[in-house]
Structure 1
Amino acid sequence: RAALEEVEGDVAELELKLDKLVKLCIAMIDTGKAFCVANKQFMNGIRDLAQYSSNDAVVETSLTKFSDSLQEMINFHTILFDQTQRSIKAQLQNFVKEDLRKFKDAKKQFEKVSEEKENALVKNAQVQRNKQHEVEEATNILTATRKCFRHIALDYVLQINVLQSKRRSEILKSMLSFMYAHLAFFHQGYDLFSELGPYMKDLGAQLDQLVVDAAKEKREMEQKHSTIQQKDFSSDDSKLEYNVDAANGIVMEGYLFKRASNAFKTWNRRWFSIQNNQLVYQKKFKDNPTVVVEDLRLCTVKHCEDIERRFCFEVVSPTKSCMLQADSEKLRQAWIKAVQTSIATAYRDKSDESEKLDKKSSPSTGSLESGSESKEKLLKGESALQRVQCIPGNASCCDCGLADPRWASINLGITLCIECSGIHRSLGVHFSKVRSLTLDTWEPELLKLMCELGNDVINRVYEAKVEKMGIKKPQPGQRQEKEAYIRAKYVERKFVDKYAISASPPEQEEKTVSKSCEEKRLSISKPGPVTSLQSNDSGIQQSSDDGRESLPSMVSANSLYEPEGERQDSAFLDSKHLNPGLQLYRASYEKNLPKMAEALAHGADVNWANLEENQATPLIQAVLGGSLVTCEFLLQNGANVNQRDVQGRGPLHHATVLGHTGQVCLFLKRGANQHATDEEGKDPLTIAVEAANADIVTLLRLARMNEEMRESEGLYGQPGDETYQDIFRDFSQMASNNPEKLNRFQQESQKF
């Protein structure tokens, strides 16, 4: 009790300190914004004075230069306050509202059950010995209360330990982000931070390890907590125990009533068990087990309240369903939880086996892989800044040429200095989406997109006529010249080389050049005796029993920058004879990001629909092409993730049909509607279940469950719980860096 009281006092004091710090941060931000407004008014006053002093060239030039410098400082201040808002106010407020609230709730429950225990002790002491029924009643109440007290006390201690391990990482994380914002603000006086910089970098590395250790410690404590709770059940509840790591492989076993599939729907009592990733039952102990579900990864379990019998639940697989009945509500809940836990464990075990297989099947190949070894290290072992700056042209600002840019435009795929990034922000997100390479978190598919484009590629498109027009790019420090140049470059597109549209009618042109694309689409969607379908994010391969020619392999990532004359695909003609929408449409299938960027620069509608090919969009073509990066590029440039073709199928439908797990994960993260049905009335989940694709079924069910949880709890607009985010983050990493693993998982699923 003394130790708990000391911890409670420490947490209360911590809450006061954090509340005070958040309030001071809000006051600082408000004061800073007021300072920026006053500073801007002062700067306008200097400009008015400069215009008044037009007769004196020295005064006018000096005052103009001073006003430009003040304007730059205002922009730097605005960026600093924005980073402060996110690093201090948002993070610490979330810690106070979420983590400390959980601690207080656990404390209230502990105090309540403590009081109940004291009352039970008093009542037990007051009962008279000659009243035997009262003695028994008081004894039973005291026993139950003590048991409840032990559980609640255990929960309370767990919550205290979790809070203690997390408080350091949350405080240090917010403060480290805050200091990095100041480091960016004082980029001109970086020498003042030279002594503090190495310490901050070391702290960042320690923080990463601290977060990992805290998460590991939390999992270990939760496992111990769960084990203690399970062993603390009374003898009547021993049937509820299950163990996913049992030595004999049996997770749970016991008697259940099973409804027969015959016309009489009779119920029979059978011995059921969950073992070896299967649900089986026996009529007698000596009989061979009958398999109900061959692969738990492909099934789901749910309550059944619409039948006359009590305590019923249903296990549904892609081929059949099984109605079961437990002896009590507790047993029903235990079986449902055991099945759900086994599904998750089976999926994790498959992933671990595949990773071990990767390590065993990839021996050193010497010089054969030396060319790609450095690129692999680049994508996995370095920071976002290092990865992006290694791309040709990215070591300097795309617009002014300043070295070591720390900002990027994610929809354009370019790097920017801090001054140009402020100008890009003022253009609006429909022209440029700015993100920091050092302060923001980068998703793997977005980082890979940045590595596929770069300043050289984009400038060949947006600055094609700069030399012909005799225009010089602005230099660092020329704020007004930069703003005019950037607006002319990206908004007005004055420097783009406008090519001539062919004189033939667009309808005839689209019909001619898209014929081969339509044939490729039909080869995928046409019914036939297909024996296998293998797909990944780098291509599609289809074979059939009737000897039809397989689909041509897609353009590899390394061929994106080859000369146009070296490509042999006769279906794609010279881009100078296409309208921009059709060029974007075809380049999306080719996975040719430079061509796509060129089409957008020439005014292509990112949601352009091809009337000759079932009103398919460039995003649907990107799905058929099999490229995750191409889809991400279109989405970042405003592509509608829910736009469907004439068959009622959107990008999520097509990705599910083709088994592109990485694309399914991407579309779900970008808000795709998985409840939409095609003209056959099938939604993506139905298609995935019919195809027995365990990975996609898992993703769709998790997304649907997360959506239902957020709706039931009123958490609209929030991403979901940590488990959901962790799973989707793992799939994103795998789809971007190791797509061959998803391909292998799919092949394994098709064997069942």
Structure 2
Amino acid sequence: MCACVCVCSKQVEKEKRELARQYGMVRNEVSGGEIAEELEKERRSFQLSMCEYLIKVNEIKTKRGVDLLQNLIKHYHSHNNFLQECVSTTQRLKQYMEELNGVLSTVKQRQEEEKKQLVRDTHTHTHTHTLTDDSLPKQVYSMHQLLGDKQYGTERSGFLYKKSDGLRKMWQKRKCSAHNCYLTIAHATPNKPPTRLNLLTCQVKPSVEDKKCFDLISHNRTYHFLAEDEAECVAWISVLSNSKQEALSVALDGGRRGGGGGESSVEDLTRAITDDIRRMPGNNNCCDCGAPDPGWLSTNLGILTCIECSGIHREMGVHVSRIQSLSLDSLGTSDLLLARNVGNAGFNEILEANLLSPSLKPSQHSHMAERKDFILSKYQDIHFVRRSHSSSSALRLGLQEATKSCDIYSLIHLYAQRTELSQPRVFPLQEKGETALHLAVLLADRTSLHILDFLAQNCSNVDVQTSAGNTALHYSCLHNKSDCVRLLLRARANTHIKNELGESALDVSRKLKHGDCEALLQKAQSNHFDHHVHVEYEWRLRRDDLYDSDDDFEERIRRQIFMIKLLYISTSSRPPAPNVPPPPPPAGGEGGGEEDDDEGEVFFPMTGSRKSTPPPPIAARHKRSCSESGKRGDIRETHLLITCVHQPRGSTSRRVEALYDCQADHHDELSFSEGQVLVVLGQEDSDWWHGYIEDEPERRGLFPSSFVQLLLD
């Protein structure tokens, strides 16, 4: 402001001088007072400008000091927080180091104990081995590999006598050769392919009674062999044991042998099971659209679908259907458990029971939209299931009974009715709060693993705990059932859950020294567990017929022909009675029933008019306790052989028609009326079958095979 005033005053003075010059009033001399006045004005103007500048500088310095202090305070706060976190981290690190020190001390102590135990076992084994015969392996059958004499090598060829499995139990001379970890047994018929056994899955067992005999136990049969002398027997046992050891080494090393015999035994078994599954009833067509040769498997439902329907299954999610390829994916035997026990035919009898017409089902030429609508209605909405309308308590009891009896189709029916598979059982075996999954673990063996697999894959919670905090995984470790552990880990069971004692499943395995379970759980916790695992299961493959003896097969055919001729003679000698209804079934062994045993006739279940059907055989009286006598045994076996002419071995379900009224005598038997159609699910023995009434699938049980006749579709 002052600067502007000075400039203006200078301009005014300049104008005055110009005017004075124009009018002749200019003075050439300036007085000293004027000069002093001008200097004073300039001095004041400079002082005013300097004061304004100092004021501005002070204002700027004041503002910068406040900001600097605020930023400095923030910096000190951040340093304080960092130091506090360092202190807490140091405290946690100290606690962890103390815990780790205790764990390492425990591990070191356990290692020292195991080392001492190994030393003791080594001394014991060495002492025992010196007492046994050096030329022959130990005469004890165990899970461990027998040690053969290495001088005999791994290959041998020659003749051995093999005992047949028929009634005659004859010794048959067979050409045998051990090569590339496989044993080949030639047949008497030249055009019949030889039996080829993978020695990795076989167990060699020397005979205790006869030093010239030994057994070879495979996954589905026991072979009895006889050598010429004891030396020959020792040589064969050593060769087979050495070959088995070599196959095990090849499998562990992951190598391949050049002679074609280096394939893994598990792969061979998986391939055989897959081929057997393809041959099951209904599996030659897609479960949903009927397309031929389906190649995709739903591992949690046990059905086969085509590639188009498998895509829709994948869209529904793994909680509904878990799809794998039979040819493209690397499957384990655990993936095939349900497929081997369910099949498309039995599954559709439940899931499509209320399908009004087969025309409503899509075909292989149907559009994807039509397929999708049907599959969603079938699996998600469950529109075609015949519902039992039972109470929740009845369904829960049915779940328990189905698990006990290993009835997979009853479990599927309950699952299709939205029954909660994880609900507590009505009558627990060990602890309150047990589920069907706990029961399946307790009852699990080599024949019932598929029940456990179905429950584990389809229940809503595989980690349900009992009143004592034990899960199904705890139960498996408590009872040392490693296959159950494999299936539960495959179903993503939680390995970190602890019971009331504070023990996890791994802690239980270590405590009880169950090494197999402990190793599996350690792999699962380190994310090294392979979910396509192998399980020990009695597969009962239908290809087992290829291993039957030639003489046994010929003998069986001769006996069948003889019994058919005998039937023809007995029926032709009976006077015709076309209009006489069949007599009622026998009274089941009460009263004078025992006196009629010798007068019974062999019954051959031919399809045809029921008017000329002979009465049921005495061998199948409607009392299971009466079928154990020796006289009935021959007739019962005859009836089974004749039935085998019409029913091929290995079929899982077939339809029969009731010839007579049948009243159940026990809780697990089935009552039905004459003319009703029944579906056979299995065979308890030659006289008693298991199945249900076609119109009432919820009614299931055992019934005598002589009261029905097969229907030819």
Q: TM-score under structure 1 normalisation?
A: 0.37
Structure that is richer in helix per residue: 1
Q: TM-score under structure 2 normalisation?
A: 0.38
Q: Which of the pair has more CA radius of gyration? A: 2
